[in-house]
Chain A
Amino acid sequence: MEHGDVNVVYSVQFELPLIMYIAQYFFFTGLSAGSFVISVIATMLGRKEFKPIGKITAILAPVLLIIAPLNLIADLEQPLRFWHLFLFYNWTSPITYGSFLLTAYPVMGIFYAAMVYTNRNTAAKVLGLMGIPLAISVHGYTGFILALAKARALWNTAAMPTIFLVSAMVSGIGLVIIIAAIRWKWFDRKSSPEQKEKDRKLILQLGQFMAYVLLLDLFLIMSDILVLLTAHEDAYEVGMLILTGNFAPLFVGVELILGAFIPLILIFGPRLRNSLTAVVVASILANIGVYAMRYVMVIGGQTVPLS
């Protein structure tokens, strides 16, 4: 240390501009984009057993994306001026991309859901394929919102948009699993036992899919942290904040252990492999983990004072 055994006292300003609403918004768009992608995959494969999942997710995506921007408007200091976003847009600001994407995407989602529910398969496929880039950008841009706010070392990394997209897939698949399991258990009385067994297998398969995406997410988080710890001073400081500092319980405890490692054990564990309960618990935990990730990113990123 450069000052030896001296005592240095600072007085600096500190405030948290972006609060819980923003973390919550990121979580909801993530859920929406993730479930839309699952829905389109199910539609594109066109197999009959995927139909129920395609339908559930087709309805989830626009509903979640109508809830999500309400968080944004609630976060504004002047909520009634939200229309300024459309009238006085600024193309260098990621929020401007967002305001247009957030308008276009739910509209597309509603049309897509209508096609899926009326069994117009070709139209659903075309709309779904057109919607995937929209779904990816509607969630990818949230990563850019953080990455381009370059004052904060935790946000200003190239990995940020990808981490957001991949964790969105995790939470989206998790939500689909939870809802499909509820439907399987309590609301699906008409199907034959063979059909029910098939549906159960399908949910288990989705669980496996989620686990692989979770592994990819873990790899991205690892590379992000590794680079943070070896990059410049601010990055090191914020890296240590989430690894060993005030945000360690949330980051290491909830996001990594509860939200990633335990779900992986529940899904890949040899005895639990065939258990629907294990997959559902894993999905709930993964969603809690992703929510914690949004919180750590948004609030933790702003915790280190800038002066």
Chain B
Amino acid sequence: MAEKRYAMVIDMRRCIGCHACTVACKAEMAVPLNVNATWLKIVEKGKYPDARKFFLPRLCNNCEDAICARNCPTKATYKRDDGIVMVDMHRCIGCKYCIASCPYDVRYINPLKNIVQKCYFCHHRVDAGLAPACVETCPTRAMIFGDKNDHTSEISQILATNATNVIKREMQTNPQVFYISADEAAMSSVQKRISYHTGEHYIKLRF
């Protein structure tokens, strides 16, 4: 059998924007305050009564051709054989070049350990045969995780029979987090006529 290749599908038709994935990730990976390995992008569109919120759970895409792994000067960022992109916390010097190179804004500096960290698809749980914390927690089963190369797995069946999309395909990174029915404005980073209101950690972009 071919070697394992872990991937995730997030079905936006099921996502209710409850932030449970963010909270589960924080608890499981001991992510400090003000930084997130998994977070929820929220887009509010329209005027009452024609208004709606759109969500996009964001986490490391664990790209097949990861720019961060290519650009890391110390090989602290590396790919496991099953496709998970790891950061060796003893090797990382905190040059932040990976954060600057990553098109998905999913890496962060751990303010307690002073190194770069990110989502590792909960490799410790996966190695023990469990699903990542966010997948386990998701109350609507919007997140599905599994081995893409195993044709009997749920994820490969979903990938084969659904219209999926990835964020920033043009970056040639081959992301391994796939979205079903995600909103265009939530997927895109480009917004015209922006005014910046920089807060502590968040920016609000307003048309």
- Listed in ascending order, the chain A residues whose CB lies under 8 Å from chain B are 1, 3, 5-15, 17-18, 72, 75-78, 81-82, 84-85, 88-90, 92-96, 99, 145, 148-152, 232-234, 237, 246, 302-307
Contact = CB atoms under 8 A, between A and B. Distances in A.
Contacts of B104: 151, 306-307
Given A7-B44, A84-B93, A150 B101 contact: yes
Query: Interface SS of chain A: helix, strand, loop or mixed?
Result: loop
A89 B75 CA distance: 7
Contacts of B95: 72, 75-77, 95
Interface of B: 36, 39, 41-47, 58, 67, 70-76, 91-97, 99-105, 108-109, 114-116, 170-171, 185, 188-192, 194, 196, 198, 201-207
11 contacts: A6-B47, A8-B185, A10-B43, A11-B42, A17-B97, A77-B109, A92-B70, A149-B101, A151-B100, A151-B171, A305-B189
Contact of B207 (A1, A94, A152, A307): A1
B101 to A, nearest CB: 4
A81 to B, nearest CB: 4
Nearest to A19: B96
Contacts of B170: 232
Given A95-B73, A149-B71, A307 B94 contact: no
Given A76-B94, A150-B101, A12 B205 contact: yes
Given A149-B71, A150-B67, A237-B192, A9 B202 contact: no
A234 B167 CA distance: 14
B39 A13 contact: yes
Contact of B96 (A7, A77, A150): A77
Contact of B202 (A12, A75, A233): A12
Contacts of B67: 149-151
A95 B95 CA distance: 9
Contacts of A15: 99, 108-109, 201
- A149, A152, A303: which has the most chain B beta carbons within 10 Å? A149
Contacts of B93: 76-78, 81-82, 84-85
Contacts of B191: 8, 10, 237
Contact of A11 (B41, B46, B74, B101): B41
A228 to B, nearest CB: 13
Nearest to B93: A81
Given A75-B95, A76-B95, A85-B93, A14 B108 contact: no
Given A10-B203, A81-B93, A99-B73, 18 more contacts: A1-B192, A3-B185, A6-B47, A7-B47, A8-B206, A10-B206, A11-B204, A13-B202, A72-B95, A78-B93, A81-B94, A84-B76, A85-B73, A93-B73, A149-B100, A151-B101, A237-B190, A302-B100
Contact of A9 (B43, B71, B115, B171): B43
B193 to A, nearest CB: 8
Nearest to B172: A150
A54 B31 CA distance: 55
B42 A78 contact: no
A6 B47 CA distance: 6
A89 B74 contact: yes
A120 B84 CA distance: 57
Nearest to B44: A9
- A17, A92, A233, A304: which has the most chain B beta carbons within 10 Å? A17
Given A77-B93, A305-B105, A307-B189, A93 B72 contact: yes
A155 B103 CA distance: 12
Q: Which 9 A-B pairs have the closest CB atoms?
A: A77-B94, A95-B73, A17-B99, A17-B96, A151-B103, A149-B101, A306-B105, A233-B190, A77-B114
Contacts of A12: 41, 105, 202-203, 205
A194 to B, nearest CB: 54
Nearest to B75: A90
Contacts of A9: 42-44, 204-206
A59 B109 CA distance: 39
A14 B39 CA distance: 12
A14 B198 contact: yes
Contact of A8 (B44, B109, B114): B44
